[in-house]
Amino acid sequence: MPWLISHRRESNPRRVRIRAADLRSAAAYWVRLEQRQEPFALMLADVEVMGPNVIRLDTENVLGVSLSPRGSLIDMTKTLEVIWNGTDRRTVEFEGGRVTLWAKGYSPGRLNKRPGLAGPISDVINTPFAIVEGTISGDAAMRRKCRQAALLLARHWKRVQHWSPRYFMDTEIAEADIARYSLILRGGPDNNLVVQKMKAKLPLEISKNKMVVDGRAFKASDAIIQMIYPNPLNADRYVVIMAANSVVGMSLAIPRHHPKWDGVGNMPLIQYLPSTGESVQEGDDVDFVIADGHVADEKKGEQENKVRVIASGVFNHEWRY
């Protein structure tokens, strides 16, 4: 301890290096990575102040970066020269003590992944969230499944976190709350009024025989999907939809045994995904997962159902398939 406390971390180092797997953690000191290119690859950055108002910026898998350097070698009243990956030289102006650069050929669109809103599904609990129970299905059995799925999550959250989460019926939640919180929605557009209102702005279509994610169709008559997407009413919040095209499919939202969820507590489908061995969860977290309830098979002596995952994956940096 005496040795440890004799050292002080430099608050404004000349050189900063970042190695990050997600945008939320892709920052250190005066460097923040704003966008990635390949969703399954790490983001790497090596940034150094080389001289008066000159910065070397070397990156891999990075489309955008913000720099807010301080110190004797930086004068914010003057332009800053940035040398990006050796050949891309730029002269930029500080705005509010920061400069933001985008890779050549790339400019942010209307909807983009960014720090704090990049998924995957489990990231919803890092934002203020509310559970919304779907109640509008014409099928009483589907209404029961939506209610069971919502209550199971709420009870699990209270048991683990010792605090009751926000909970609304889809017909009672106020418009202000729809926009204020990330929403964990139980039931699809035919079962949940909130999803029905957002339907035109979500890249999801559900029919009797298939699930369509951003134009990509997956055929299944008894399927369930869990998907995260930006809240159409608030660009700083998410919606996480769990919807099925049959009661059989919706049954997968209610594990027969006590859920083996960890702290994320709201992703019963993720536990069925194969793990690469690099994830702290049973399976790797994703932006969407579709499972086939028709072939769910519970074997005696096993702790959980065996479920066939039809598809899973992450959206790209523009929230596209």
* Residue 265, domain member (yes or no): yes
Give yes or no: residues 80 and 155 share one domain: no
Give yes or no: residues 43 and 152 share one domain: no
Q: Which tokens belong to 266?
A: 């709201």
Q: What is the mean pLDDT of residues 144-165?
A: 91
* Residue 191, domain member (yes or no): yes
pTM of the model: 0.85
| 260 closest CA partner among 275, 243, 239 | 275
Q: What is the CA radius of gyration of the chain?
A: 23
Helices (H), the chain: 2-5, 140-161, 175-180, 193-198, 247-250
Rounded distance, CA 194 to CA 72, Å? 54
* Residue 110, domain member (yes or no): no
Give the CATH number, domain containing residue 216.
3.30.379
Choose one of 49, 72, 102: the last residue of a domain: 102
Give yes or no: residues 82 and 134 share one domain: no
Write down the pLDDT at residue 136. 97
CA dihedral 255, 256, 258, 263 (to 10 degrees): 0
Phi then psi for residue 121, to 5 deg, are -55, -45
Give yes or no: residues 87 and 214 share one domain: no
Write down the pLDDT at residue 280. 35
Give yes or no: residues 164 and 285 share one domain: yes
Write down the pLDDT at residue 303. 41
Q: What is the mean pLDDT of residues 9-14?
A: 90
Name the pLDDT band for 315 (thresholds 50, 70, 90): very high
Better-scored residue on pLDDT, 245 or 257: 245
Mean pLDDT value across the chain: 88
pLDDT at 74 over 90: yes
Consecutive H or E run containing 174: none
Count the residues in the chain.
Answer: 321
Mode of pairing for the β-strands spanning 62-67 and 15-20: unpaired
Give yes or no: residues 182 and 279 share one domain: yes
Give yes or no: residues 136 and 277 share one domain: yes
How is the beta sheet containing 99-102 ordered, strand by strand? 27-28, 31-36, 62-67, 99-102
* Residue 1, domain member (yes or no): no
* Residue 237, domain member (yes or no): yes
Contact 195, 189 (CB under 8 A): yes
Name the pLDDT band for 267 (thresholds 50, 70, 90): low
pLDDT at 167 over 90: yes
37-52, pLDDT tens digit by residue? Answer: 998 899 999 999 999 9
Name the pLDDT band for 263 (thresholds 50, 70, 90): very low
For the chain, what percent of residues have pLDDT higher than 70?
Answer: 86
75-133, pLDDT tens digit by residue? Answer: 999 999 999 999 999 999 999 999 999 999 998 888 999 988 999 998 998 999 999 99
Give yes or no: residues 131 and 242 share one domain: yes
Give yes or no: residues 264 and 152 share one domain: yes
* Residue 116, domain member (yes or no): no
Give yes or no: residues 79 and 202 share one domain: no
Query: What is the tally of structural domains in the chain?
Result: 2
Which residue is listed with tokens 């050949």? 87
Write down the pLDDT at residue 220. 87
* Residue 114, domain member (yes or no): no
Name the pLDDT band for 273 (thresholds 50, 70, 90): low
Give yes or no: residues 145 and 274 share one domain: yes
Range of the domain at 39: 12-102
Q: What is the mean pLDDT of residues 256-264?
A: 49
pLDDT at 298 over 70: no
Write down the pLDDT at residue 268. 57
* Residue 2, domain member (yes or no): no
Name the pLDDT band for 281 (thresholds 50, 70, 90): very low
Give yes or no: residues 301 and 156 share one domain: yes
Strand partners, 102: 64
